[in-house]
Amino acid sequence: MEISDINLDTMWYTIDNGITNITFLINGTIDQNNWTAHLEGSVTLIFYANDTLGNIGSSQIVITKDILEPIITINLPTTNQTIGISAPSFSLTIVDYSLAQTWYSLFNGTHWSDNNIFTNSSGVIDQALWNSMPEGIIVIKFFANDSFGRMGYANVTVFKQSIPGFNLLDFLLSLPGIITMSTIGVVTAVIIVIVKKKRGGYKAKSKEIRRIEEIRRKREEDLKK
């Protein structure tokens, strides 16, 4: 900095609004103890000078202190969320005073995908990338770095299920009464046969059979009314 005064007397500065004033004789470095004590964020640096006549001049500049890596909070998607064929949306909260770049990568259980750069804190995962992911558990990892090269990251685990689950009982109950009654009877018989088989690898729980039988009897009673 340059200070001009033919009667220059004293020069000093402050970074805490005058709580601590530090004198200096030549250009140099801000006092490390004062800098360390200051929190991250905006820092107002004010320089003062007076002359032998008691006149005081000042000039200030606002700078930013950034000593931590970016902090990422994933708002969407949520942990263990089931996601279908459409790529999931994402919403992040990223805190950093000198954020430079953000990107994400997906893990399919064996390897990570290439990095996909994004610029907004919310968006949609690349559809082509999502299509390439298999059914099951997928890890989405978000990254951010700042202008000093510090990197932060956060990840979320989701479940990809492109084909909706099929519930046989719900399907049967959606059919017309007569069809449902006969169909439930056939299904019950088939399940009983499967249970009796010692080989074949299929078993049905007894409570499921009882439930089907109860539904069949109830439908028969409704038809008689």
Q: Which of 164, 159, 119, 167 is nearest to 136 (CA)?
A: 159
**pLDDT at 32 > cutoff 90:** yes
Of residues 135, 138, 136, 132, the one with CA closest to residue 90: 138
Q: What is the pTM of this model?
A: 0.65
Res 204: pLDDT: 44
Say if residues 92 and 73 touch (Cβ distance below 8 Å): yes
pLDDT in tens, 40-54: 999 999 999 999 999
Q: What pLDDT score does 107 carry?
A: 98
| Second CATH level (architecture) for the domain 71-160 | Sandwich (2.60)
Q: Pick the residue with more confidence: 124 or 4?
A: 124
- The answer to whether the CB of 138 falls within 8 A of the CB of 110 is no
The pLDDT value given to residue 162 = 84
> What are the Cα distances from residue 215, in Å, to 27, 104, 105?
89, 49, 48
